[in-house]
Structures are given as structure tokens and as C-alpha cells.
């Protein structure tokens, strides 16, 4: 038999939740998304599988000059341990959160799904959106939403590969964007730069780019390598950094200012504690780099 809770007792049980909800709403944000949405393009760049330790090592070595100029990487908790769960979370507004967060009130939310919990009132600085995804909310506010895929969850060649592209008004993928292609990021950037030449200048764009060069296989970015490793992972990031420089320069020239979210969806293992790849809970998988900035 279900326990019957008296109204007064239920109110007492709800007190911690109400306090937590108030704490989330009152948290000061570093950026006010309500001053960005509708005024600027938004670029969401996922460096698929990028490990935090590799990102900060390349940053410290000044090996990623493009990304370095936009501030240091922030150490964050991954939303999921492989692409599929992580992107469902991120597309609903739950981006990687601060590594030292102890509860939901410690999260800094740029996007907030207005139809769930917390009294439907979003945190300060967050863009409260209606619908099941960020993209659905932004479309209602006039954005054209683009997806340029990389890994197979975006390839539209299977039922599963059509799920994420289906969240966008426009979605693009071709085999030259895929993981085994050494020039995949160059091909993606070339495609995007051609597309923005044809885009309506007055209509804001939300672009999601899934960069898969860092995902396995990545050994071919390191001269002489025959298998993937932490070293080839870093070499792949160096390659990606140069291509992002072309994307940012081209976007600024054609479209002007934009707000950029750049992060990994999860990390991966190269033998640590006997673990390989991702889809498992290991510190190397669950810890990711994150930053956001203005072009």
C-alpha cells in the first residue's frame, strides 16, 4: 500500500527542494544568454572524445594557439560516457558542469528547459526555452538551426544516425566528414564556409559542429604511428585547432560577432587501469574540457 503523506508533512518534505530551486535561480551567471539570443549567431562546437588532460597539456605547450586565445580550458564533468547519452543531455541544455559541483545549484546553466522543475523559472542569465531541445526553442525565436555531423550518430545512414540530425532544421553529413578520413575537419570547415556564403545575413544561425578527428582512429595525425595513443590524440587536437582558426576567421568575416560554446562530450581511455576507449565510467572518460567565448 502506498504511504499517504499529509499535506503538512508533504510541505515539510518539499522545503529542501524549494531551497535548492531558489539557489539555482539566484545563482549569478558569468554570461547572460538573454543578451545573446536573437542578437548573435551561436556556434556549439563539440570536440568529440577530447580528454581534459590532453587539452590542458596542449594548451600549456602553446600547441593550440587558436583555442588558447579564447581563454583556458575549464575542468568539467561529462554529461555522459559516450556520444549518445551525452548529446541528449547537452541538447536539452545540460552542458558539461563544473568539476567541483556538489549539487544542481552549483551548475552554471546557459540554457534552461522551462517546462521542467524549479517552478518553471530559469536561473539568472540562462535562456529559458520551450520545447524538448535548445534548437526547438531557438527556432521559435527565429534561429536557423544547422547540424554538421561527424561521428556515426550523425551520419543519417541508420535509424539511430537520424535521431540527432532530426532535431535541426538543416542537417548535413557526407563520408568525407567521418572519423577514418584524415582531412575530416578541413572538409567540415570548407563545407560550412561555403554554406554561410549562401545564408541569409539577417537571420541568426545556431550551428552545431561535431568534430570527430580526435575520436578513434587518430593515429594518422602522428607521424610514424601505427595505433591510437594519448600522443596521437594530442596531435589530432593540434590539427583541429588550425582548422577552427579558419572557421572562426571565415565566420567573423562573413557573419560578424558570434558566441561560441566549445567542449568535449566525453573523454576516452588508452589503457589506463586496463581500460580502453569510452562508454565506461572512468575518470579519463568522465572529465572533459569546456570553454565559452565571443568571436
The pLDDT of 79-107, averaged and rounded, is: 88
Higher pLDDT, 125 or 26: 125
- Predicted TM-score (pTM) above 0.85: yes
Alpha helices in the chain (DSSP H): 7-26, 52-60, 65-68, 83-91, 134-140, 184-198, 230-255, 283-286
pLDDT tier at 101, thresholds 50, 70, 90: confident
- Domain 32-294 is in which class? alpha beta
Q: Any residues with CB less than 8 A from the CB of 117 and at least 6 apart, and which?
A: 21
Q: What is the pLDDT of residues 142-156, one digit of tens each?
A: 999 999 999 999 999
pLDDT score recorded for residue 98: 85
Extents of the domains making up the chain: 32-294
pLDDT tier at 29, thresholds 50, 70, 90: low
Cell 578541413 belongs to: 186
Q: What is the pLDDT of residues 49-74, one digit of tens each?
A: 999 999 999 999 999 999 999 999 99
pLDDT score recorded for residue 102: 75
CB 142 within 8 A of CB 204: yes
CA gap 231, 219 in Å, rounded? 9
Q: What is the pLDDT of residues 162-203, one digit of tens each?
A: 999 999 999 999 999 999 999 999 999 999 999 999 999 889
High-pLDDT (> 70) share of the chain, %: 88
CA neighbor of 272 nearest in space, from 221, 230, 233, 225 = 230
Amino acid at each position: 500500500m502506498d504511504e499517504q503523506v499529509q499535506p503538512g508533512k508533504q510541505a515539510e518534505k518539499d522545503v529542501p527542494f524549494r531551497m535548492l530551486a531558489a539557489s539555482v535561480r539566484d545563482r549569478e551567471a558569468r554570461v547572460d544568454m538573454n543578451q545573446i539570443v536573437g542578437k548573435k549567431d551561436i556556434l556549439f562546437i563539440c570536440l568529440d572524445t577530447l580528454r581534459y588532460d590532453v587539452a590542458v597539456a596542449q594548451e600549456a605547450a602553446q600547441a593550440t594557439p587558436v583555442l588558447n586565445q579564447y581563454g583556458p580550458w575549464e575542468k568539467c564533468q561529462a554529461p555522459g560516457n559516450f556520444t549518445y547519452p551525452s548529446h541528449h543531455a547537452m541538447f536539452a541544455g545540460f552542458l558539461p558542469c563544473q568539476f567541483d559541483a556538489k549539487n544542481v545549484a552549483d551548475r552554471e546553466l546557459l540554457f534552461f528547459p522551462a517546462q521542467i522543475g524549479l517552478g518553471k523559472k530559469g536561473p539568472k542569465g540562462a535562456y529559458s526555452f520551450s520545447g524538448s531541445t535548445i534548437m526547438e526553442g531557438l527556432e521559435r525565436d527565429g534561429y536557423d538551426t544547422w547540424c554538421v555531423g561527424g561521428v556515426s550518430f550523425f551520419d543519417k545512414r541508420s535509424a539511430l544516425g537520424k535521431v540527432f540530425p532530426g532535431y535541426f532544421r538543416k542537417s548535413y553529413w557526407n563520408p568525407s566528414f567521418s572519423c577514418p578520413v584524415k582531412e575530416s575537419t578541413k572538409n567540415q570547415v570548407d563545407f560550412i564556409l561555403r554554406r554561410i556564403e549562401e545564408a541569409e545575413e539577417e537571420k541568426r544561425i545556431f550551428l552545431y559542429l561535431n568534430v570527430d578527428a580526435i575520436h578513434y582512429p587518430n593515429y594518422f595525425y602522428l607521424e610514424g604511428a601505427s595505433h591510437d595513443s594519448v600522443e596521437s590524440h594530442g596531435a589530432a587536437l593540434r590539427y583541429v585547432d588550425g582548422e577552427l582558426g579558419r572557421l572562426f576567421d571565415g565566420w567573423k568575416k562573413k557573419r560578424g560577432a558570434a558566441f561560441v560554446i566549445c567542449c568535449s562530450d566525453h573523454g576516452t581511455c588508452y589503457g589506463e587501469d586496463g581500460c580502453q576507449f569510452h562508454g565506461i565510467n572512468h575518470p579519463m572518460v568522465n572529465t572533459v574540457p569546456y570553454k565559452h567565448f565571443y568571436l
